[in-house]
Structure 1
């Protein structure tokens, strides 16, 4: 069974029940799909049947391939048995297959054995398989022998295949009812039915709506740890997944004009005022003061603390067509597997930062130059899925989300979103294509530009609201990222953006909830033109200009220790002494004292070096003027005193400054003339 709950599924339904559309939506996230057509070619005179087959063909994306088995019904089991573990098959349908099986041209035939071979092939296959079949057992018993034979054979085939499949779903009037496994374990990242998005509710509040569609389990959250260094026997291996996230049975109505919370408008300015009072040796924190203001506003306190619980969300989803020109096939999937296994740059940096890591598979996006990148129903489910990722992180105590992505064609998709929302020219926001060997591939860059140009031309008359842009141009990864930003905003969790996908999601989210951009922080633009433009439109000034290119998410984790250090320093530094701060246990400044004995005042403000000879013993002298060489006047507050001889004696009680004394003798008291010897009488 695959990671999202099933590997093989049988979709049952009556005529025009929507079973085929639902089955197609189940494989909508696959990069390529092999469509196995079982029905015989249409009778040239049967225009209605030919129109049905043509409608089926038109719904198939250009990346799908078609395999016909009508000439030999036994070949269906061979096709399924030969499919590899990385393939996705859509068999539509078993009713047509049974019709061909019972055709006199294929008789005599052992129908029971052929059905058993098909069921065994489905049970043993490692491929991802969706089979469609009509449910005719609810109608009247046919009145003709051929009709009864068809009903019996199809019923036997449905029972055998249902027993071999991991999951079975019955579609009634477009509504899926999961029969196997139970509904509680049914994955819900799959839309209920392809079709128009549900109507928005007439309110600008975020509302919860109960739905029969249960949501899929969220990806496991990994907690990477540093690997043991060579020769270190005490090191620990990479940690296994720490938790499986819960499922919920509610759906969100995400629509423009939602009222989400804003950061604290007072805490940010108060934090800036507090920084100006700190005892900093230099001029301050420079541009990193914005980190303190951002953290203060999002934490709601003028003294923010460093983010201790951080989670990295790595969104993995490829874009088909010209958007992915110049990329190596399977490279993004390898990066995602590497991160899940706790290897690679992103996992290493997450371990260094003590951050958890969650790798999220998003729906694959169709070639936007030919068709919508994502169906509207998939856009709705992707937005809700991203919202749930943010909600689960908030419930787990995460204080900061780092949003990254890996996928083929993400840069071109982001450029298309910017062109549609900000009027950018695609060549101006598409970065150069660099091959694995470090060479610049201009041909691939031109192919990407052409894909974006053709997509914009195809959608020139389409609406430019948020969900339409996601459906036509953005695709699955940008849709999930948009949901993450909205959900994080609703739960007051700040998001550290990194790369084109996150910034494109920021452009979309501002049309759904303008508050979302105020919860976003951009560490480094990475030299990417799309990131620079989107950041300028959103009002996000990059904190650094390091031009890091380690992959989305890894760039932000590289800057994270610096941001944490700034917050820790701002929280720990005291107020400057001149503004009332300082250490009460030690004086702020002390001059060195002379070698000889000196005055014994209790609280001097400043002490000058004293002469080598014995001196006065006054208790609190503040200032001593120099005295003349011979005996002089004995006033208590002289304006000026001539220099004294080598044995000085104080003559005043409250001077603020002491002048150097002469070498000769001077007076010894303030009440009488000094003894020529310079020593105190008695």
Structure 2
């Protein structure tokens, strides 16, 4: 389970309610988790309590680290206060913490002051934080002074912590109910958002005419193969029950337009169709071992289409987002190079356009607002981020209306690699220099000076924003820029309309990282064909739980790498859908099979049988005469 849109969350629940399992699921996507255990070890003779502790330890992944605070309750506040922004902490649980706090061994103590310190530490905690606590009993007041003291202190603690957290969830019989924070988005009760037009690369709002009149943004669609005609969308597949004609989800509307906010509830792929498709592959009539690692492709297509026999993607749209980044992020790139590449795509020239034509895919070039130097200040304004997110959602919505069955998300622009490294560092704690690839000039030479300028730009940007929020929109405004913001909107819109997205290059992966805070479901609709050897792409894919289907290490540019792999992926899906079940599993025998069921016949003996007379014995005929 992945529920985003929070930084600190309190998970409440009764005994055996499933609260700990739910809390663990909240941090399941984090690459590293520090588990803070507050409960004492207890009596060594209490085997039941020891079993409970062992069960908790067994559920923790090997990558998690554990820290004990049972010896000194006040140290919990110090642990939270010293946590780093890239960390994820899970505190389990506050009931044990209160029990230790009230232990006579720690008395006299200022219990109220310690609880207040804990709440203050939660409010100022830089890390993502989940705290588990038992809900105070709903029945009779305890009859003993110790019991009443415990429930009173736990009630005060829960109220103080709930007030400090930005999310509170109550788990009853394994079913979570959000009391505060990232609840599902509902129509009508949504905040107003800006309607400012999306600024284009030249600084003017997208869709602005020469005299300044505002019009709806209409990016140029280059139809290279007549696969998609925007004025006459092709009909949906006739087969019912696939993801292409299933109901879609749309964003809530306000008077000012679309609303995109953290914690949106968007659809997930079919959880049963994928495993069923993999099981079906084992029954197909193939002479070899099967599809190998490409079985994952069939499972992904089955889940996103909602059928165990997925079809190959016939209608594919490539979205090329063009946006530059100023400052040191663009070191080593010739000015105007990205505009030249975008112009090639618009006129049907260049690697991306030619591959799209070969694959029968339509190509749409989208201009993003230029981003300011992230080392000097925010890359975008908050209004530009809102507009870019809505614009990306609209692009996905238009593609769905045109019958697109797969989106290929690509980008071109100066500084995209450094920007992706900054987003990766802000969202997952990566070391920027480790995920910034070498800078290669147009003549194939390594430019180490340009690489160092990019590293310096990212380092300065991370230092400038060290105390800033790591929420999705704040990351986009401070570091991401217009191309990453539009790509994020595309992922969200495609998820809402149940359209899978093939990512290619650092911009799409950076958008995938940012989208987790807005809708954690988006990453389950993403596919990575090839990582291209890019260190940022490889690490971001690992954080998102994506595994590249191929290892071709192509370097043709964003989008082009995916289109090289697309014909192979289509062939695999078509083959998996068309092959019949092996005859041995159906009980049928093919009529032209000459090897079918020969009857067994015992061969004639080569010599005398067991009843024969030995050669040296005299044979006597029935008349009694010697033979």
Q: Offset of 1:220 from its aligned partner?
A: 2.5
Matched with 1:204 is 184
Post-superposition offset of 1:626: 1.5
- Distance in 2, Cα, partners of 1:553 & 1:421: 24
Q: Secondary structure, in 3 states, of the residue corresponding to 1:437?
A: coil
Task: Describe how 1:2-81 pairs up with structure 2 within 5 A.
Answer: none
Change (3 A) 1:319 1:606: same
Tell me the residue number matched to 2:271.
265
1:514 corresponding residue in structure 2: 520
CA distance in 1, matches of 2:194, 2:468: 31
After superposition, residues 526-605 of structure 1 pair within 5 angstroms as 526-580=532-586, 584-587=590-593, 589-590=594-595, 605=597
Residue of structure 2 aligned with 1:361, choices 362, 367, 370:
367
Q: Secondary structure at the match of 1:311?
A: strand
What does 1:287-298 align with in structure 2 at a 5 Å threshold?
287-298=293-304
Distance between the aligned counterparts of 2:232 and 2:376, measured in 1?
37
Q: Are 1:414 and 2:420 matched, yes or no?
A: yes
Cα distance in 1 between the residues matched to 2:564 and 2:544: 23
Residues 368, 483 of structure 2: 8 Å contact kept: yes
d(CA) in 1 for partners of 2:476, 2:355: 31
**Does structure 2 retain, via aligned residues, the 8 Å contact 1:524–1:556?**
yes
Please tell me whether the aligned partners of residues 227 and 315 of structure 2 are also in contact (alpha carbons under 8 angstroms).
no
Q: Does the residue aligned with 2:319 lie in a helix, a strand or coil?
A: strand
Deviations 1:9-50 (A, max 9, x none): xxxxxxxxxxxxxxxxxxxxxxxxxxxxxxxxxxxxxxxxxx
> Which of these residues, 314, 321, 334, is aligned with residue 320 of structure 2?
314
Corresponding position of 1:220: 220
2:388 alignment counterpart: 382
- Distance apart, 1:623 and its partner CA: 2.4
Matched, 1:447 2:453: yes
Aligned mate of 2:288, from 282, 306, 328: 282
Q: Contact (CA 8 Å) 2:229, 2:402: kept in 1 or not?
A: no
- CA shift, 1:410, in A, is 0.4
Q: What is the rounded CA distance, in whole Å, between the counterparts of 1:240 and 1:575 in structure 2?
A: 32
Match of 1:606 in 2: 598
Instruction: Show structure 1 runs of 4+ deviating over 2 A.
Output: 200-204, 206-218, 239-246, 581-587, 622-625, 627-630
Give the Cα–Cα distance (whole angstroms) in 1 for the partners of residues 548 and 228 of structure 2: 33
> How far did 1:218 drift?
3.0
Task: Please name the residue that 1:483 is paired with.
Answer: 489
Unpaired segments ≥5 residues, structure 1? 1-199, 226-238, 591-603, 608-621, 633-639, 643-682
Distance 1:367 1:244 in 2: 39
- Report the alpha carbon displacement of residue 252 of structure 1 after superposing the two structures with TM: 1.4
From the superposition, tell whether residues 641 and 224 of structure 1 become closer, same or farther in structure 2 (CA, over 3 Å). Answer: farther
Residues 1:518 and 1:382: Cα distance change in structure 2 (over 3 Å): same
CA deviation digits over 1:400-440, x for unaligned, max 9?
A: 00000000000000000000001011100000000111110
Q: Deviations over 1:177-208 (max 9, x none)?
A: xxxxxxxxxxxxxxxxxxxxxxx998532658
2:408 to 397, 402, 407: 402
The match for 1:626 among 604, 607, 619 is 604
**How far is the alpha carbon of 1:461 from its aligned partner?**
1.0
Q: Say which one has the larger Rg.
A: 1
Structure-to-structure mapping, 1:233-248, within 5 angstroms: 243=230
SS in 2 for 1:511: coil
Name the SS for the 2:222 alignment partner.
Answer: coil
Q: CA deviation at 1:564?
A: 0.6
Q: Contact 1:298–1:519 at 8 Å: present in 2 too?
A: yes
Q: Cα distance 1:277–1:242, how it changes in 2: closer, same or farther (>3 A)? A: closer
Match for residue 348 of structure 1? 354
SS of residue paired to 2:318: strand
Alignment of 1:639-654 (within 5 A): none
Following TM superposition, by how much is the alpha carbon of 1:641 offset from its aligned partner in structure 2, in angstroms? Answer: 9.5
Pick closer, same or farther for the CA change 1:641–1:376 going to 2, 3 Å: farther
* SS of residue paired to 2:502: strand
Deviations 1:164-189 (A, max 9, x none): xxxxxxxxxxxxxxxxxxxxxxxxxx
1:313 alignment partner, SS class:
strand
Contact (CA 8 Å) 2:378, 2:477: kept in 1 or not? yes
Q: Structure 2 unaligned runs (5+)?
A: 1-179, 198-215, 234-252, 613-627
Deviation of the 1:574 alpha carbon: 1.2
3-state DSSP class of the match of 1:357? strand
Q: 1-side partners of 2:288 and 2:591: how far apart?
A: 24
Q: 2:497, 2:227 → 1: CA distance?
A: 28
Using the alignment, how far apart are the partners of 2:417 and 2:587 within structure 1? 51
In 1, are the aligned partners of 2:227 and 2:362 still within 8 Å (CA)? no
Going from structure 1 to structure 2, the CA distance change for 1:629 and 1:404 (only over 3 Å counts) comes to closer
**How far apart, CA to CA, are the structure 2 residues paired with 1:580 and 1:471?**
59
Once residues 548 and 467 of structure 2 are traced to their aligned partners in structure 1, the CA distance between those partners, rounded to angstroms, is 35
Mapped partners of 1:293, 1:568: distance in 2: 13
Partner Cα distance (1:329, 1:265) in 2: 47
**Change beyond 3 A, Cα 1:293–1:628:** closer
Output the TM-score relative to the length of structure 1.
0.55
Cα 1:242–1:294 change in 2 (3 A) is closer
SS at match of 1:487: helix
- 2: CA distance between counterparts of 1:219 and 1:534? 29
CA offset at residue 586 of structure 1?
2.5
Q: Answer 1 or 2: higher relative contact order, Cα 8 Å, separation at least 6.
A: 2
In angstroms, what is the RMSD of aligned CA positions? Answer: 2.7
Aligned partner of residue 221 in structure 2, secondary structure: coil
State the Cα distance separating 1:223 from its structure 2 match: 1.4
Aligned residue number for residue 331 of structure 1: 337
TM-score of the aligned structures, taking structure 2 as reference length: 0.59
2:444 to 435, 438, 463: 438
The whole-number CA distance in structure 2 between the counterparts of 1:548 and 1:304 is: 27
Query: Does the 8 A contact of 1:267 with 1:297 survive in 2?
Result: yes
Distance 1:628 1:460 in 2: 93
CA drift at 1:211: 8.0
1:92-113 superposed Cα distances (whole Å, 9 cap, x missing partner) = xxxxxxxxxxxxxxxxxxxxxx
Asked whether the equivalents of residues 574 and 582 of structure 1 are also in contact (C-alpha less than 8 Å), the reply is: no
Kindly tell me the number of residue pairs found equivalent between the two proteins: 393
2:45 corresponds to:
none
User: How many Å separate the matches in 1 of 2:230 and 2:580?
Assistant: 41
